[in-house]
Structure formats: C-alpha cells, structure tokens
C-alpha cells in the first residue's frame, strides 16, 4: 500500500465509540453521572437494547450484551491497556470527585522535555478504561514536521493544513 500524507479518507472527527455492556442502565448512569454525558435519541429501527449518549464532542453508544454473565470481569487498572482519554480543566478537582464517588483509580505522570502531564485511570462498570489528563500541556510534534502547540482540535486543523501544503509543494 502506498504511503499517504494528509487526510486520504477526508475524515473530519471521531464520531463515537461503541461499548458492549452487562447493563445498559448501569453504564448510562456511569457515563451521565461520572463523565457528564447526556442521553440522545437513537434510531427507533434498532431491534436491540442500547443507548446513545453525547458529550465532550463525542458519542458513546452502549450496546446490551447478549450474554452479560459471560463478559469478562474487571481487570486490574493498567494504564497500558485500551482506553479513551479526556482532557480536564483541573486534575485536583477530578481526583477529589473520584475519591468522593469511591471510584478506584491509578495516578500516573508523563514527563517530556520538562513538560509534565498528569493522568488518572479508572474503569467504567464493564472494565473499559477511562483516562483523565491535562494532556493539552504536551505539544503534538509530528515526526516529520513542525511543532503544533497542543492536542486541541484547532491545532490539529493547523497541522492538517501544513501537511497539505507540504504535499502540494513537493
């Protein structure tokens, strides 16, 4: 496959993640009351149990497991496991809230060139890992280009325009 630069599929953004749950109701409670998502309408033509939520620019689609008793149980919290990450305004406030809600979490720290990123990892009711971080502190540095200031959506658009300009100039 030929190596491509830029945005060959003309992608705009991440739309949603889909998660199979033991209990849609329990997972809805978690995503609403812990992460601040709101329920939204899902297509009425679906003939299976589930729920759609939206928040922070992304959708979460919850699907009821057909065999909830056979779903694997929660594992130890491992920051190197599959997860989704959310940036926050205050790591201290997040940690306090997790303690208040008695949600078990693991704290981690990343350091790169004197820049520190704090991370908190915890599980949803089905063991899917969530990360909360202040990752906006860490610059996004393309392997073959100039530095973009942070991982915010605005700066991603700047990076994409720079990549397109580089391709056009070649």
Is 96 among the domain residues?
yes
137 and 103 co-located in one domain: yes
Burial class (CB in 10 A: 0-12, 13-18, 19+), 18: exposed
Is 44 among the domain residues?
yes
CATH number of the domain that residue 61 is part of: 3.10.180.10
Output 169 or 80, whichever has higher pLDDT. 80
134 and 76 co-located in one domain: yes
Is 7 among the domain residues?
no
Q: What tokens appear for 29 in the block? A: 């409670």
- Taking only the tens place, the pLDDT of each residue in 126-169 is 999 999 999 888 888 778 765 555 555 555 555 555 555 555 55
Q: What is the pTM of this model?
A: 0.81
Is 141 among the domain residues?
yes
Looking at the structure of the chain, the number of domains it has is 2
pLDDT value of position 148: 57
**Distance set, CA 56 to CA 66, 118, 147, 166 (Å):** 29, 19, 25, 31
Its domain, for residue 136, covers: 72-169
CATH number of the domain that residue 86 is part of: 3.30.720.110
Is 40 among the domain residues?
yes
- Taking only the tens place, the pLDDT of each residue in 12-23 is 999 999 999 999
Q: Which of 45, 69, 93 is the last residue of a domain?
A: 69
90 and 153 co-located in one domain: yes
CA dihedral (159, 162, 168, 170) positive or negative: negative
Residues annotated as catalytic are 131
């Amino acid at each position: 496959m030929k190596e491509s630069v830029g945005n060959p599929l003309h992608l705009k953004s991440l739309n949603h993640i889909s998660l199979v749950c033991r209990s849609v109701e329990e997972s809805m409670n978690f995503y609403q009351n812990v992460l601040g998502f709101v329920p939204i309408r899902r297509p009425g033509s679906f003939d299976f149990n589930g729920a759609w939520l939206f928040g922070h620019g992304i959708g979460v689609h919850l699907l009821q497991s057909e065999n909830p008793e056979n779903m694997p149980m929660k594992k130890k919290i491992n920051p190197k496991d599959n997860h989704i990450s959310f940036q926050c305004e205050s790591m201290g406030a997040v940690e306090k809230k997790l303690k208040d809600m008695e949600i078990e979490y693991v704290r981690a720290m990343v350091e790169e060139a004197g820049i520190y990123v704090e991370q908190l990892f915890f599980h949803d009711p089905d063991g899917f890992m969530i990360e909360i971080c202040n990752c906006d502190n860490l610059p996004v540095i393309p392997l073959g280009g100039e530095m973009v200031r942070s991982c915010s959506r605005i700066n991603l658009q700047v990076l994409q325009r720079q990549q397109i300009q580089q391709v056009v100039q070649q």
